[in-house]
């Protein structure tokens, strides 16, 4: 039997790990001749980018918005080759007194966990898309507490509102927070296979195999709830700090619904993630964001009917 090819993979957020563990524990990496060495680069955006460029890292799971400027300004060889999620999932609005919907945020203060990071910039863009400009219509403030703790700050009157994720809203409702689920927006999130054109050129077999493993694991994740939960409870309970089966069900249902059967980014998701990049680096306004994406491997797999075999 041929030796499996090892890929060094580093995730940027804990919520990425369940899909990677399904790839591994479900046997899909091995099926396609791979094994992975996994590590964390949570909160280390610059370190992830520099590690890829130097060749120290093979694949980063994430780095969604910050590579456009590096590619545009320095022609750094970054590339995304597949995309797992195309929807923003922090779309639960925790409402303070007098807030009953998005338009009631005019003149109010909204807390987010990191203005300069992906999650905070998502809030900025979401409000902007709904006619609420930062500085003119709404004040945005950073509070790097977890979602449930920010919800408590809203209840205490420290802020007028905040946005949190599905499991956090489940917890927050239990201590009396007023919460409304609001429409989502298109956004590049989750397991984005990020690497460099140098790595792709020298490891085409591994890139194709990794995309196939991701596709197979996504199908397993979406269609085999009990088996998926067994894997991710085993490996991710401490990492994700899940407290009970109700929270696991909530997490699973949200994740499974948002995973793309075919790992293409949507045009709207690319447009919106590029808006975040422009917010940080407005001088790249003439850069075509599609330059950062190479989807021909996904297209090859699609064209040969692989998805039809999986989903019918």
Among 293, 267, 297, which Cα is nearest to 195's? Answer: 293
Q: How confident is the model at residue 267 (pLDDT cuts 50, 70, 90)?
A: very high
- pLDDT at residue number 254: 97
C-alpha dist (Å) from residue 219 to 21, 22, 98, 227, 257:
14, 10, 43, 12, 11
Q: What is the dihedral of CA 242, 248, 251, 256, to 10 degrees?
A: 140
Q: Find residue 112's DSSP bridge partners.
A: 142
Rounded to whole angstroms, how far apart are CA atoms 144 and 89?
18
Structure tokens given for 277: 């990049």
Average pLDDT of the chain, as a whole number: 96
Q: Find residue 82's DSSP bridge partners.
A: 193
Rounded to whole angstroms, how far apart are CA atoms 261 and 216?
9
Please give the sequence-ordered ranges of beta strands (E in DSSP) within the chain, or none if there are none.
Answer: 5-11, 34-40, 59-61, 78-87, 92-95, 108-112, 138-142, 161-164, 178-181, 186-196
Cα 3 off chain centre by: 32
By three-state DSSP, how is residue 16 classified?
helix
What does the pLDDT average to over 283-305?
Answer: 98
Question: For residue 2, is pLDDT > 80?
Answer: no
CB atoms within 10 A of CB 97: 9
User: Per mean pLDDT, which range of 40-44, 157-161, 262-266 is the poorest?
Assistant: 40-44
- pLDDT at residue number 238: 93
Determine what percent of the chain is predicted with pLDDT higher than 70.
99
Quick check: 15 and 241 in contact, CB under 8 A? no
Rounded to whole angstroms, how far apart are CA atoms 229 and 250?
11
Angle between helices 166-174 and 147-155 (to 10 degrees): 40
Quick check: 54 and 198 in contact, CB under 8 A? no
Model confidence pLDDT, tens digit, residues 107-116: 999 999 888 8
| DSSP annotation string for 130-197 | TT--BTTTEEEEE--S-HHHHHHHHHTTS-SEEEE-HHHHHHHHHTT-EEEE----EEEEEEEEEEEH
Quick check: 139 and 110 in contact, CB under 8 A? yes
Cα 156 off chain centre by: 30
Model confidence pLDDT, tens digit, residues 191-210: 999 999 999 999 999 999 99
- pLDDT at residue number 113: 87
Rounded to whole angstroms, how far apart are CA atoms 219 and 35?
19
Q: How confident is the model at residue 3 (pLDDT cuts 50, 70, 90)?
A: confident
What does the pLDDT average to over 253-281?
Answer: 97
Please give the model's pTM, rounded to 2 decimal places.
0.95
Question: For residue 155, is pLDDT > 90?
Answer: yes
Rounded to whole angstroms, how far apart are CA atoms 112 and 141?
6
Q: Order of strands, edge to edge, in the sheet holding 34-40? A: 34-40, 5-11, 59-61, 186-196, 78-87
Question: For residue 145, is pLDDT > 70?
Answer: yes
Domain architecture of the chain: domains with CATH: 5-85+189-311 (3.40.190.10), 92-183 (3.40.190.10)
Model confidence pLDDT, tens digit, residues 207-238: 999 999 999 999 999 999 999 999 999 999 99
- pLDDT at residue number 60: 97
Question: For residue 1, is pLDDT > 60?
Answer: no
């Amino acid at each position: 039997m041929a030796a499996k090819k090892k890929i060094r993979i580093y995730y940027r957020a804990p919520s990425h790990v369940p899909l990677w563990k399904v790839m591994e524990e479900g046997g899909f990496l091995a099926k396609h001749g791979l094994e992975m060495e996994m590590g964390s680069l949570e909160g280390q955006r610059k370190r992830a980018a520099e590690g890829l460029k130097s060749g120290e890292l093979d694949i980063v799971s994430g780095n969604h918005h910050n590579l456009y400027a590096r590619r545009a300004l320095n022609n750094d060889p970054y590339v995304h080759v597949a995309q797992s999620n195309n929807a923003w999932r922090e779309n639960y609005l925790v409402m303070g007194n007098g807030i009953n919907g998005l338009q009631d945020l005019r003149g109010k203060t909204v807390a987010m966990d990191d203005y300069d990071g992906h999650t905070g910039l998502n809030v900025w863009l979401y409000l902007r898309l709904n006619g609420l400009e930062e500085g003119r219509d709404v004040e945005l403030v950073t509070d790097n507490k977890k979602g449930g703790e920010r919800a408590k700050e809203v209840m205490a009157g420290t802020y007028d509102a905040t946005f949190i994720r599905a499991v956090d809203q489940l917890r927050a409702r239990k201590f009396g927070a007023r919460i409304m689920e609001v429409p989502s927006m298109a956004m590049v999130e989750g397991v984005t296979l990020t690497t460099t054109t140098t790595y792709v050129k020298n490891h085409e077999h591994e890139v194709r195999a990794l995309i196939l493993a991701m596709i197979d694991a996504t199908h397993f994740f979406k269609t085999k709830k009990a088996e998926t939960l067994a894997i991710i409870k085993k490996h991710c309970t401490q990492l994700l700090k899940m407290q009970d089966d109700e929270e696991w069900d909530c997490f699973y249902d949200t994740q499974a619904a948002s995973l793309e059967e075919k790992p293409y980014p949507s045009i709207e998701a690319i447009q919106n993630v590029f808006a975040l990049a422009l917010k940080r680096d407005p001088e790249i306004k003439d850069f075509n964001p599609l330059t950062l994406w190479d989807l021909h491997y996904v297209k090859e797999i699609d064209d040969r009917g692989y998805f039809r075999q999986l989903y019918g």
